[in-house]
């Protein structure tokens, strides 16, 4: 019987090696996040196919090692102490766009979870199909964008999604259709042990020139509003009903407030930037300051939009 975390990790490593799944020990996760912050994952796997993914999940389940899944890292704050257990990031084999029924008024497209959202928007617009143009400029991958129901300028990914494909904690793959999908503001309700591996979209024929114009307008708006030059994770807090988190933070007088090397952006108060050597704890403390100050000033408790991973 495996009694300690170290013994379970070693058993998992041996199992991964036996299944010919490439893995890394104590892999730094900082460079895998847009904040460029965070400690190591005990074991790290980037499977390039379903066999490797299923094997990794199955071995982790058998040895009792917890699994953490990361996507493009654009909405992650990883603890300075890192993440215990197995960290999985889908590899290049899950980066694809496959069209079906293209050419009519409606098209379906199957997209790997590791595909960049920007690439998907570009290809669908170039093909003359609308439904995703609002997402132009949203960073990250299709998988992460789906899990947080990414949206902007009145649109959300969930509105164009007809199904998703997931792997469970044992590595078994299944498809979830429209009637079972539960999207809400910045969230898809999905069991914690499910790994999203592909997304099916339904798009409608539209004017390519109109779509490109819309993309240009959206990108200009994003560039005007968002800070550049320092690593960040986009919007840190969700907008509460009928209000904007950035406006509430600005009203609390927090623009430019700094903890260590983490700073609330002078351009947009709902962004926290890494000035160079910020630690995860700097960001966490700044987030707590924002929540407390906005609550005292406006009576609104801001909910984080970023995921916090690891030991705190």
225-236 burial, b at 16+ Cβ within 10 Å, e below that, comes to ebeeebbbbbbb
By annotation, the residues acting in catalysis are: 186, 235, 305
Q: What residues form DSSP beta bridges with 76?
A: 307
**Which pLDDT belongs to residue 101?**
72
For 95-225, CATH number out of 3.40.50.1820, 3.40.50.2300, 3.30.465.10, 3.40.50.1100 equals 3.30.465.10
CATH 3.40.30.10 fits 5-89, yes or no: no
Alpha carbons 160 and 162: distance in angstroms, whole number: 7
Domain regions of the chain by residue span = 5-89, 95-225, 245-309
Same-fold call for 5-89 versus 95-225:
no
Task: Please write the tens of the pLDDT for every residue from 138-183.
Answer: 888 999 999 989 887 788 999 999 999 999 888 889 999 988 888 8
80-91 burial, b at 16+ Cβ within 10 Å, e below that, comes to bebbbbbbbbbb
Tokens standing for residue 200: 């099916």
DSSP 8-state class, residue 157:
G
pTM: 0.87
**Which pLDDT belongs to residue 97?**
97
* pLDDT tens across the length of the chain (312 residues): 567 999 999 999 999 999 999 999 999 999 999 999 999 999 999 999 999 999 999 999 999 999 999 988 988 999 999 999 999 999 999 999 999 876 678 999 999 999 999 999 999 999 999 999 988 888 889 999 999 898 877 889 999 999 999 998 888 899 999 888 888 888 888 887 788 999 999 999 999 999 999 989 888 887 777 777 899 998 999 999 999 999 999 999 999 999 999 999 998 999 999 999 999 999 999 999 999 999 999 999 999 999 999 988
C-alpha distances (whole Å) from 91 to each of 46, 217, 276 are: 5, 32, 28
Angle formed at CA 44 by CA 42 and CA 45, multiple of 5 degrees: 155
DSSP 8-state class, residue 304:
B
CATH class, domain 245-309, is alpha beta
Contacting residues for 220 by C-beta, under 8 A, at least 6 apart: none
Other Cβ atoms less than 10 A from the Cβ of 1: the count is: 3
Angle formed at CA 89 by CA 236 and CA 143, multiple of 5 degrees: 60
Task: Please write the tens of the pLDDT for every residue from 71-102.
Answer: 889 889 999 999 999 999 999 999 999 998 76
Sign of the CA dihedral with 4 first, then 5, 10, and 16 last: positive
**Which pLDDT belongs to residue 169?**
82
**Which pLDDT belongs to residue 104?**
78
Run of H or E residues at 292: helix 280-298
Q: What is the dihedral of CA 54, 56, 61, 62, to 10 degrees?
A: 100
Alpha carbons 7 and 12: distance in angstroms, whole number: 9
């Amino acid at each position: 019987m495996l009694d300690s975390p170290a013994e379970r990790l070693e058993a998992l490593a041996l199992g991964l090696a036996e299944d010919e799944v490439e893995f890394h020990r104590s892999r730094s996760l900082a460079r895998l996040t847009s904040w460029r912050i965070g400690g190591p994952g005990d074991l790290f796997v980037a499977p390039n196919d379903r066999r490797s993914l299923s094997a990794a999940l199955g071995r982790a389940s058998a040895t009792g090692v917890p699994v953490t899944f990361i996507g493009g890292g654009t909405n992650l704050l990883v603890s300075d102490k890192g993440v215990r257990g197995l960290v999985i990031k889908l590899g290049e084999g899950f980066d694809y766009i496959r069209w079906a029924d293209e050419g009519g008024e409606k098209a379906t497209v199957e997209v790997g979870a590791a595909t960049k959202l920007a690439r998907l928007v570009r290809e669908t617009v170039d093909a003359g199909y609308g439904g995703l143009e609002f997402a132009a400029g949203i960073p990250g991958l299709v998988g992460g964008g789906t899990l947080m129901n990414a949206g902007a300028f009145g649109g959300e990914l969930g509105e164009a999604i007809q199904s998703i494909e997931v792997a469970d904690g044992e590595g078994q793959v299944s498809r979830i259709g429209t009637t079972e999908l539960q999207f809400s503001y910045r969230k898809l309700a999905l069991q914690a042990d499910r790994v999203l591996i592909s997304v099916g979209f339904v798009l409608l024929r539209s004017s390519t020139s109109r779509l490109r114009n819309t993309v240009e307008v959206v990108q200009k708006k994003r560039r005007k509003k968002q800070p550049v030059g320092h690593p960040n994770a986009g919007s840190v807090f969700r907008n509460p009903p009928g209000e904007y988190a950035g406006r509430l933070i600005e009203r609390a007088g927090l623009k430019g407030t700094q903890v260590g090397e983490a700073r609330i952006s002078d351009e947009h108060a709902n962004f926290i930037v890494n000035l160079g050597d910020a630690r995860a704890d700097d960001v966490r403390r700044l987030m707590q300051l924002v929540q407390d100050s906005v609550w005292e000033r406006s009576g609104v408790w801001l909910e984080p939009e970023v995921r916090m991973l690891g030991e705190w």
